């Protein structure tokens, strides 16, 4: 990687497919609010093309946002990966480092801030995660930051649920697993994070009016999801909120400045 100079002004989101990404709208709104003459693009890059793309970056680049399928594929290509991102096997942010490029994960920050800005208050002790994919792993790390001590992982595939539960245990959380079938007791925790596609959470909506904890539904199109619409508590966050706050943290890391979160939020489609 070339030395970074004073003319750093480029950033981008990489992935495949990438045309649907909302990251350019968020980051460009931040640059406008900060009066930075930077550019931010969405660039189609798959796993095979990622090594060459990274090698070709020069000192004008402030960082990269990564989406699927690159979050895990990038890890062996980086000179440094922070401990949390390595444990999650998910890097969504690449930044210049002392000896190359370093990786971190702002999805965790995005989940935490989405819940807090939605109104999560007090000390949550229990949580449920619906699903056991990459977002579920980030959700577990977010629950650690929030001080949750007990989590239930619900998934169709018990091997996947056990893997996420093992991750939670490695962070010091007491973890158990359940099938994905709707159960009221599973929704009775202080926080519920659904990583399911919008329609997949519909069976849980029948029980949701009795829920009293906070909900983060990572799905956001269309919104509200059946689960969010039926939720019995007013503390509800969406994947749109998570997307906003993970981008806010990326802008902070890339620019070293305090991001204009309200302007970034206004740049998202309603």
Max Cα–Cα distance, the chain, nearest Å: 57
HEC string of the chain?
Answer: CCCCCCCCCEEEEEECCCCCCCHHHHHHHHHHHCCCCCEEEEEECCCCCHHHHHHCCCCCEEEEEECCCHHHHCHHHCCEECHHHHHHCCCCEEEECCCCEEEECCHHHHHHHHHHHHCCCCCCCEEEEECCCHHHHHHHHHHHHCCCCEEEEECCCHHHHHHHHHHHHHCCCEEEEECCCCCHHHHHCCEEEECCCHHHHHHHHCCHHHCCCEEEECCCCCCCCHHHHHCCCCCEEEHHHHHHHHHHHHHHHHHCCCCCHHHHHHCCCC
Of the residues 28, 71, 102, 137, only one is catalytic, namely 71
Torsion angle, alpha carbons of 25, 29, 31, 34, to 10: -170
Whether 71 is catalytic is: yes
List the structure tokens of 14: 């990489």
List the structure tokens of 173: 């959380």
User: Which residues lie closer than 8 Å to 220 by C-beta, 6 or more apart?
Assistant: 238, 239, 240, 243
Instruction: Give the active site residues.
Output: 71
């Amino acid at each position: 990687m070339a030395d970074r100079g004073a003319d750093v002004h480029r950033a981008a989101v990489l992935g495949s497919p990438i045309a649907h990404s909302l990251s350019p709208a968020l980051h460009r709104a931040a640059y406008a609010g900060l009066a930075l003459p930077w550019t931010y693009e969405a660039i189609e890059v798959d796993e095979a093309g990622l090594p060459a793309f990274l090698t070709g970056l020069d000192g004008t680049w402030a960082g990269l946002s990564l989406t699927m399928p690159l979050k895990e594929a990038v890890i062996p290509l980086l000179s440094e990966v922070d401990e949390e991102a390595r444990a999650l096997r998910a890097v969504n942010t690449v930044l210049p480092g002392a000896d190359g490029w370093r990786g971190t994960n702002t999805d965790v920050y995005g989940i935490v801030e989405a819940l807090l800005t939605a109104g999560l208050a007090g000390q949550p002790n229990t949580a449920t995660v619906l699903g056991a994919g990459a977002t579920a792993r980030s959700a577990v790390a977010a629950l650690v930051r929030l001080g949750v001590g007990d989590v239930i992982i619900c998934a169709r595939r018990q091997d996947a649920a056990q893997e996420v539960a093992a991750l939670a245990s490695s962070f010091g959380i007491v973890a158990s697993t359940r099938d994905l079938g709707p159960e009221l007791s599973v929704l009775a925790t202080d926080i519920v994070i659904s990583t399911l596609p919008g329609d997949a959470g519909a069976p849980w909506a029948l029980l949701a009016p009795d829920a009293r904890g906070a909900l983060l539904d990572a799905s956001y199109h269309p919104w509200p999801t059946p689960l969010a619409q039926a939720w019995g508590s007013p503390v509800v966050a969406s994947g749109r909120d998570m997307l906003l706050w993970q981008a806010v943290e990326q802008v902070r890391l890339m620019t070293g400045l305090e991001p204009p979160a309200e302007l970034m939020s206004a740049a998202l489609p309603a």
